[in-house]
Structure 1
Amino acid sequence: MSVPIANLPIGQRPRERLFTLGSHALSDSELLALLLGQGRRGESALELAADLLAEHGGIAGLSAARPEELSRRAGVGPAKAAAIIAAFQLGTRARVSPEPRFRLDEAADVVAAARPLFAGARVERLLVLVCDAQNHLRRTVFVAEGAIDQVAVPVREILNTVLRHDGRAFAVVHNHPSGDPSPSFDDRRATTLLRDASRTVGLRFLDHVVVAGERWVSATPLPRIGE
């Protein structure tokens, strides 16, 4: 029979263990149970957390789960699914927050700043890296997401994102979940559109990079950054 967390001895309750021993002492299931808050009838938050981890093959698999996929799971729903996704995203941002003076001098710098944000992505996503006049990275913003290999390039939204964050220059990065980073004809056409449109609004377009795991390719014809 399931035992609610509130009925466990104090020394076995995740929240009390966190305050007493620190978050590092908690198991993956305990940390996830704290996010879930409560389970469902016949299943405690700890048991629900353990089941979720088992279903997705552990933390790495769970981090790549889609919100709608999680929300359909009995005992989770939209609110808990959103909390799980948000927690993973905060962890990612904490790991990859750029140095205050992180500068995009070449395509490899763009990749270094962007690639961790695509970890576990199973669909194409389009990321904008907003920079100041000296190419110092100010903000990273996802502006589009689509089916595998079918993300669109919303030129107007990209430019509006840069301007909204007081950017003066920008680069864009998108991923190929197929594992092949080779830019498609549409990728290169979008690059040309972005370069031309950025000039009309006084922005500098730095680069468009396609990433696929550890591999990457620039979709921008030379000259690129610093042209």
Structure 2
Amino acid sequence: MLNCPVEERPREKAIYYGIETLSNQELVAVILRTGNKEMSVLNLAQFLLDEIGGFQELKDIDYQRLIQIKGIKQAKAIELMACIELAKRMQSKQSIKNRIRQPKDAYAYIKNKLMFEKQEKVVLLCLNNHLEIVQDKLLFIGSGDVSLLETKEVFQYTLRSGCNRIILIHNHPSGNPKPSHEDQEITRKIEMMAKHLDIEFIDHIIIGDHCYYSFKSNQIYQSKED
């Protein structure tokens, strides 16, 4: 790991680009903190995931199973179990899922994450048949040109999530949510691809400074709640 560029190490990468940019392997590596003589911390994290059958299996892992894995001692096992327990407790508090019935619901859900960002970020919301948010995914961190977003990445993640309804959201660091030509073009491309894949593209929302634009309604809204 010492030979890796600083920004490619999990902890440093989280500092440079945000914790949400880390892969599952990298998140586990941050929790483990160190590797051993045989494996780097990244290799140990991947070895652990392979041994238990994948990232999703972490939710059902127990202490005894963890300490049977080569390289996982008591301290690392307890730290992992603590993180898993925290995630379970937070999940249990979310008995009422966020439901997106109209553009203002999507704005309320994401505004605190995007409104004051200095860089343009693109977030994908994947919804179920009840219009409840199943997952949200940071797709892109850019320099002011959403057209650099790859449409295939949008649908690769959508299909993996198992959802067939999506909302695309991005921010304008300038504070003005008026869509650019590039915003209009990427919206058109995603809309065409969504129809081809039988996925409902509900809306594309642009977050500004206490305001937002909805492509669905073709209107800028000034927030009355902020």
Q: TM-score range by the shorter chain?
A: 0.5 to 0.7
Q: Is the aligned partner of 1:167 residue 2:163? A: yes
**CA displacement at 1:117 relative to structure 2:** 2.0
- Say if 2:100 and 2:132, in contact at 8 Å, map to a contact too: yes
Summarize the alignment of residues 5-154 of structure 1 with structure 2, pairs less than 5 Å apart: 78=9, 80-82=11-13, 84=15, 85-86=18-19, 100-118=96-114, 120-147=116-143, 149-151=144-146, 152-154=148-150
- Say if 1:102 and 1:136, in contact at 8 Å, map to a contact too: yes
Q: Which residue is equivalent to 2:176?
A: 180
**CA displacement at 1:153 relative to structure 2:** 3.0
Change (3 A) 1:145 1:82: closer
- Say if 2:145 and 2:182, in contact at 8 Å, map to a contact too: no
- Aligned residue pairs: how many? 144
Change (3 A) 1:165 1:86: same
**CA displacement at 1:219 relative to structure 2:** 2.7
Change (3 A) 1:140 1:98: farther
Letter in 1 for 2:19: A
Provide the C-alpha distance between the structure 2 equivalents of 1:214 and 1:208, rounded to a whole number of angstroms.
17
| Percent identity of paired positions between Structure 1 and Structure 2 | 20
TM-score, scaled relative to structure 1? 0.55
Letter in 2 for 1:130: C
**CA displacement at 1:82 relative to structure 2:** 3.6
**CA displacement at 1:100 relative to structure 2:** 4.1
Change (3 A) 1:109 1:81: same
RMSD of equivalent CA atoms: 3.2
**CA displacement at 1:119 relative to structure 2:** 5.1
Provide the C-alpha distance between the structure 1 equivalents of 2:10 and 2:128, rounded to a whole number of angstroms.
36
Provide the C-alpha distance between the structure 1 equivalents of 2:94 and 2:110, rounded to a whole number of angstroms.
10
Change (3 A) 1:167 1:106: same
TM superposition outliers: structure 1 runs of 4+ over 2 Å: 77-87, 97-101, 219-222
- Say if 2:115 and 2:207, in contact at 8 Å, map to a contact too: no
TM-score, scaled relative to structure 2? 0.55
Letter in 2 for 1:128: L
Query: Highest CA radius of gyration, 1 or 2?
Result: 1
